[in-house]
Structure 1
Amino acid sequence: MARPKIPRTICGQAANICFKPNGIPITQLEQVPLAEDEIEALRLVDLLGMQQQEAAKSMNISRQTLANLVKGARHKVVDSLINGKALMTNNIS
């Protein structure tokens, strides 16, 4: 049985739900999902410049979990930019 996911504190929200290359319909693009907690981890570490320990505390998660979120999110963003994929956020409001 998988360990239950610890609730994470998320303060920021993505401005859009999709970023994609211009001129190509979304139906023709591979979509890469980016979770809310991954966006928050990127916002805290890369945009606000927080140290990982401080950002982890802000999200109520361990530093290692934050590092894993940042690593995975960065990989998804770079994959989307380099390979022309649509980057989709999961926070559809």
Structure 2
Amino acid sequence: MILILAAYIALLSFAVHKFAGKNREKWINAGFLTAFVLPLVVFFLLLNILGILTGAGMGSAAAGLLFGAATCITGFVFLYIGYTANPGHS
């Protein structure tokens, strides 16, 4: 589970880095989407998919909450990168 979480965060970070590059506004937009929109989607998808496949409601809720929280923290890191980036690179 931890390896899947690490791979998920690594792929998310790689995708945002390739998408945003050195553009400050793209980092900020990606941070807001990753911090506030994507965790809800990830939580409900994992809750439904794991709940149906395994039949474990509480376990799938815990996994969804863990992945959602990790996604939210990653989004705040993206926001930090965007707000502390040099405006000259935009």
TM range (shorter): 0.3 to 0.5
The structure with the greater share of residues assigned to strand is 1
Q: What is the TM-score with the length of structure 2 in the denominator?
A: 0.37
Structure number with greater Rg is 2
